[in-house]
Structure 1
Amino acid sequence: MKFLVLLAVLFVAYLVWRGKRVKKNPPRPPARALPAPQDMLACARCGVHVPRSDAWISDGRSYCCREHQQQDGR
C-alpha cells in the first residue's frame, strides 16, 4: 500500500513538473513569409524613390506619378 501511495505522489509530482516546463516554453507561431524586395527607382523630376511596380517609366526615365511624367515633357 505504501508503494502505491509513493508511486502516486511521484506521478503527480512528475505531472506538475512537466506542466511548468511546457508553460515556460510555449510553441512559437509559424513565421510569415516576407514579400520579395523590390527595386526602388528615383523620380527624374523630384527625386522621390518609388517601387518599380508603382513607377511611371518613359524613355528610360522613371517618375513617381503621371503628372511628373507629363511635366518633364519627354
Structure 2
Amino acid sequence: MGRAGKALKQVLETYDINQNQLAVAMGLGRSSINRWVNENRDPAADAVLEIVEGLEKINESAAKDFLNLYLGRFSQNDEQ
C-alpha cells in the first residue's frame, strides 16, 4: 500500500491540515482519511480526485503538492 497515503500524510503535516478538516471538506468521516494516512487502505481512483478537491478547498498549494507527490512528478527536494 502506499503512495497515496504517504503523499497525503506528508501534505497534511506540511500544511498543518488535520484529518478532520480534510474529512469535512470532502464530506466524509475522519475514519476514511485516517485509514488512508495510516496506509490501512488505499483510496480508490475516484477518492483520489475527491482528496484533491478537498485539499483545494483548504489550500490550493497542498492540493498541487499532493498530486505531485502522488504522481511522482517531483521529489521532495526538487524546485517547482
- Which category describes the TM-score, using the shorter chain as reference length? under 0.3
Q: What TM-score results when the alignment is normalised by the length of structure 2?
A: 0.20
Q: What TM-score results when the alignment is normalised by the length of structure 1?
A: 0.21
Could you say which structure has the larger radius of gyration? Answer: 1
Higher-helix-fraction structure: 2
